[in-house]
């Protein structure tokens, strides 16, 4: 991998860009604000995210990726072009070779859309890598050996569960439930229990501050402001960490079920490796309080949170070219 090669973690929630020798050079929300009447791009990234739920009728702030795949091709292409230029500088004359990670369950059509959008955004060549493989590489696991490693990558749009051995996935499952679904579950819970309507930014804040997958030693609470569904007036309630656990129960059950399914389909020899090596937890969604303890308690397998769970996929995406070239040459 030359210094001109870059790795991109193209996520539903955020985009991270990794350059070898430099590290993560960009981490911004996957949000674009544009004028509905003229299709003119108003802002991209952090500034656009601040506009979600706060724009006039003619301005739309959207996420062009849904559940890990492109839902709006044109906007994704413009967003990628903006982030690539911002990461490497607009005055560069070379077209970089770009490695992009995708969920393990994407179709060939969805993969092709990512390749085409990245080429249009300025790449000279595009390499695709599955998220669990990128996560394992980014966490420093030597996946070239014939030993079983299991990765659970909980992103914004998808949760990828995969058993990796000898440089490739042996068994994998891509679940359409992840961090954004945690936010939606909190929004639904508040509406049903307290008849209060909150936006996704507020729900995300609740998740980060008091969100819980496994009982806390001490219950936490948070004041939540929203709109009363019945009167339309502002309303404030106090939500507890125990309530977030109730709200997230359905999402967490789906993730645990997906992990169980992958473990059931894993060949016996690799199962023995996993019992020894444990489960690696990556992605922003894995930062939900007690997620590692919940998985460990239910599966009985030691579960470890990666050192930098948000960045490991981007780092591994950047390292993948080097890994695949070494694999081809037999090193």
Same domain, 169 and 268: yes
Same domain, 156 and 26: no
Alpha helices (runs of H) in the chain, residue ranges in sequence order: 46-49, 73-88, 108-120, 131-138, 179-194, 200-210, 241-265, 268-277, 291-299, 312-329
Please indicate, yes or no, if residue 15 is contained in any of the structural domains.
yes
Q: Tell me: pLDDT of 323 over 60.
A: yes
Q: Which residues contact 119 (CB under 8 A, 6 or more apart)?
A: 126
Model confidence, pTM: 0.92
Same domain, 83 and 39: yes
Same domain, 278 and 173: yes
Mean pLDDT of 140-158: 94
Please indicate, yes or no, if residue 229 is contained in any of the structural domains.
yes
Same domain, 170 and 293: yes
Mean pLDDT of 4-15: 91
Residue-level length of the chain: 331
At 322 the pLDDT is: 81
Token pair 């307290």 is at which residue?
Answer: 194
Same domain, 47 and 10: yes
At 324 the pLDDT is: 76
Range of the domain at 25: 6-134+313-329
Distance separating alpha carbons of residues 52 and 32, to the nearest angstrom: 10
For the chain, the 3-state helix, strand and coil shares in percent, each to the nearest 5, are 40, 30, 30
Full DSSP string of 45-96: THHHHTTTT---TTEEEE-SEETTEES-HHHHHHHHHHHHHHHH-TT--SPP
**Residue 292 token pair:** 């590692």
Same domain, 102 and 218: no
At 92 the pLDDT is: 57
Same domain, 124 and 11: yes
Q: Which of 158, 213, 199 is nearest to 181 (CA)?
A: 158
Please indicate, yes or no, if residue 1 is contained in any of the structural domains.
no
Considering only residues 326 and 25, tell me which one the structure prediction assigns the higher pLDDT: 25
Same domain, 159 and 235: yes
Taking only the tens place, the pLDDT of each residue in 52-66 is 878 888 999 999 999
At 93 the pLDDT is: 58
Query: Is residue 232 within 8 Å of residue 196, measured between CB atoms?
Result: no
CA dist list (Å): 93 to 4, 8, 122, 124? 11, 19, 11, 12
pLDDT band at 1 (very low <50, low <70, confident <90, very high): very low
Q: Which residues contact 41 (CB under 8 A, 6 or more apart)?
A: 32, 33, 34, 78, 82
Half-sphere exposure of 84 (CA within 13 A, CB side): 29
At 89 the pLDDT is: 77
Average pLDDT, the chain: 93
Same domain, 109 and 204: no
Same domain, 164 and 126: no
Angle at the Cα of 149 from the Cα atoms of 147 and 154, rounded to 5 degrees: 165
At 3 the pLDDT is: 47
Please indicate, yes or no, if residue 261 is contained in any of the structural domains.
yes
Same domain, 117 and 178: no
Sign of the Cα torsion 284, 149, 305, 297 reads positive
CATH code, domain with 284? 3.30.420.40
Taking only the tens place, the pLDDT of each residue in 217-270 is 999 999 999 999 999 999 999 999 999 999 999 999 999 999 999 999 999 999
Number of domains into which the chain is organized:
2
Mean pLDDT of 279-305: 97
pLDDT band at 136 (very low <50, low <70, confident <90, very high): very high
At 187 the pLDDT is: 98
CA dist list (Å): 61 to 28, 34, 47, 202, 203? 14, 7, 10, 16, 17
């Amino acid at each position: 991998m030359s210094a001109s090669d870059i790795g991109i973690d193209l996520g539903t929630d955020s985009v991270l860009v990794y350059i070898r020798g430099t590290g993560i050079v960009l981490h911004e929300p996957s949000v674009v604000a544009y004028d509905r009447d003229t299709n003119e791009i108003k802002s991209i990234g952090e500034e656009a995210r601040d506009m979600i739920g706060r724009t006039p009728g003619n301005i739309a702030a959207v996420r062009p990726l849904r559940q890990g795949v492109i839902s709006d091709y044109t906007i994704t292409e413009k967003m990628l072009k903006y982030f690539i230029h911002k990461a490497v500088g607009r005055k560069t004359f070379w077209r970089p070779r770009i490695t992009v990670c995708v969920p393990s369950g994407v179709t060939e059509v969805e993969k092709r859309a990512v390749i085409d959008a990245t080429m249009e955004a300025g790449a000279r060549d595009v390499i695709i890598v599955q998220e669990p493989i990128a996560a394992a590489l980014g966490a420093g696991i030597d996946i070239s050996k014939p030993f079983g490693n299991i990765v659970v990558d909980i992103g914004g749009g998808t949760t990828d569960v995969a058993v990796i051995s000898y440089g490739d996935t042996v068994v994998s499952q891509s679940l359409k439930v992840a961090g954004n679904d945690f936010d939606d579950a909190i929004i639904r819970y508040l509406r049903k229990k307290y008849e209060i309507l909150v936006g996704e930014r507020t729900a995300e804040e609740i998740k980060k501050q008091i969100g819980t997958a496994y009982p806390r030693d001490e219950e936490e609470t948070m004041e939540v402001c929203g709109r009363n569904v019945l009167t339309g007036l502002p309303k404030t309630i106090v939500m507890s960490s125990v309530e977030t656990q109730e709200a997230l129960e359905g999402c967490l059950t789906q993730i645990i079920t997906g992990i169980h399914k992958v473990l059931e389909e894993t060949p016996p020899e690799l199962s023995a490796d996993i019992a020894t090596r444990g489960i690696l937890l990556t992605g922003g969604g894995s930062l939900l309080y007690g997620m590692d303890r919940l998985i460990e308690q239910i599966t009985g397998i030691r579960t470890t949170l990666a050192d930098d769970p948000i960045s490991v996929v981007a780092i591994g995406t950047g390292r993948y070219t080097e890994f695949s070239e070494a694999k081809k040459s037999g090193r």
